[in-house]
Amino acid sequence: MAIRLKRLLKIAVPLSLCCGTVAPAFAALPELPLNGVFTGKQGKNHLQGIAVDERNGWIYYSFTTRLVKGDLQGNILGSVEGLVGHLGCIAFCPEDGCVYGSLEFKKDSIGADILHSLGDGREYEDGFYVAVFDTAQITRMGMSAEADGVMTAAFLPEVLDDYAGKGENGRDHRCGCSGIDGLCFAPKPGDPDGPKKLWVAYGVYSDLLRSDNDHQVLLCYDRETLRACAAPLRQTDMHRQGPDAPEKKYFAFTGNTTYGVQNLEYDPVHRLLLMAVYRGHKPQYANFDMFAADLTKPARAVPLKGLGETGAALTLWGADAPESDDVAGWRDAGGQCGMHVMNDGSLLVAETVTVDGENAAYIKPYTFDPETGLQPKAAAANTRLTVWQRILRWIRAIVAAVKGWFGA
């Protein structure tokens, strides 16, 4: 063991020195308590997603109409407010220091509930965007999403086309599209070591009487192209500036769910695209709370069940091929209101609570294994580590970070 550790240290220590920013990034991260990091009380709307800047030890919370910036000790550092749409799942990009999030404006019951919670009686256009927050500019509480230059947004015409389009037998909403929610950075299927793209997943209405809403629909964009299209957003007169189309549109056959993918995360250890959902109610399906697409396997152009078209289909974990009836997943998995995969493969998962009539959450350490799904971190994992165990953990974190940052 001692010889092995010396060899590892000969590689890891020079690597951390030459890369400069690698070691400090993880030195800033505290060991999270098992009872979690408290988000603070955040008003009438519940938590939608979380993202972590591991280099600086900052965490971001999407509370539907506001983005909140904090640290992993539970301190709140700033917020961006004034949104009248639904800010959903978010992801942090270490390459540009921005938080990206799904942002939708629509006239359905979700949109109406948001406006009611804000006491806003105005009517807004339907629109679907990726919001881009410049986190370096979030320096105080109550910053304006419109007036303070902290947020831009890129319009997604593909989503509006499906939301406004017609599906099976002339029913509203092609593919059952209710908008967008899940979002993350992940490689393309079949190229798990390749560059990461921005993925955004549809919300999908639960309708037991149609068969064209049994897929998760995921759009894939080049981040730099999308950001170049982004512009400040005036919500009373929303622009339509964004990429004409996604690089690719993927389909994952899971059976119908309730509002589609709530949170989307890439697990680089198992090379799985994790999809946390609210379970569906069609009796012919297993109705899991979480599914995963296996990104080691390329997408295949196959006929899509219930849609009457051919599309690029993903293979789910536990299935032999795309569009398989043998759908696997996990029950009671959690993650629907926020999850984040750290560079070392560990996870943070949000558990929502209500405090004094306001919405809040605890962000807790979890583990993930395909055989067991998401599990709260065992108390034993928080026991005192030996020096060698700490060194090994540090080395693994450095190697994972270098692979992530340099595309290794």
DSSP for 316-348, please give it.
BTT-SSTT-S----BSS---TT-EEE-TTS-EE
Q: Which long-range contacts (CB under 8 A, 24 or more apart) does 389-395 make?
A: 391/5, 391/9, 392/5, 392/8, 393/344, 394/12, 394/26, 395/8, 395/9, 395/12
pLDDT in tens, 175-190: 999 999 999 999 999 9
In a shared domain, residues 339 and 403: no
pLDDT at 256: 96
In a shared domain, residues 223 and 325: yes
Please provide residue 51's backbone torsions phi and psi, each rounded to the nearest 5 degrees.
-150, 150
User: Residue holding tokens 């629109």?
Assistant: 127
Torsion of CA 329, 45, 359, 41, to 10 degrees: 130
pLDDT in tens, 307-321: 999 999 999 999 989
Strand-pair partners of 301 = 312
- Cα atoms in the Cβ-side hemisphere of radius 13 Å centred on 245: 4
What's the CATH number where 124 sits?
2.115.10
SS3 103: strand
Beta-carbon contacts of residue 227 (< 8 Å; ≥ 6 apart): 96, 98, 132, 152, 154
Q: Please count the other Cβ atoms lying within 10 Å of the Cβ belonging to residue 17.
A: 10
In a shared domain, residues 304 and 391: no
258-267 and 272-278 as β-strands: parallel, antiparallel, unpaired? Answer: antiparallel
In a shared domain, residues 15 and 84: no
In a shared domain, residues 159 and 288: yes
pLDDT at 397: 64
In a shared domain, residues 372 and 390: no
Give the integer Cα–Cα distance in Å for 288 and 274: 12
Residue 25 has pLDDT above 90, yes or no: no
How many domains, in total, are found in the chain?
A: 2
Please provide residue 31's backbone torsions phi and psi, each rounded to the nearest 5 degrees.
-75, 115
User: Burial, 289: exposed, middle or buried (Cβ in 10 Å; 0-12, 13-18, 19+)?
Assistant: buried
pTM: 0.86
Higher pLDDT, 87 or 5: 87
Q: What percent of the chain has pLDDT over 90?
A: 78
pLDDT at 404: 54
In a shared domain, residues 1 and 82: no
The pLDDT of 38-49, averaged and rounded, is: 95
Closest to 127 in 3D by CA, of 94, 92, 91, 157: 157
Report whether 275 contacts 317 (CB < 8 A): no
The pLDDT of 385-402, averaged and rounded, is: 65
In a shared domain, residues 15 and 69: no
In a shared domain, residues 246 and 391: no
Give the integer Cα–Cα distance in Å for 131 and 99: 8
In a shared domain, residues 150 and 194: yes
Give the integer Cα–Cα distance in Å for 351 and 349: 7
Domain that holds residue 343: 35-376
User: CA-CA distances (angstroms) from residue 163 to 141, 277, 372?
Assistant: 34, 19, 35
In a shared domain, residues 146 and 9: no
In a shared domain, residues 25 and 45: no
SS3 157: helix
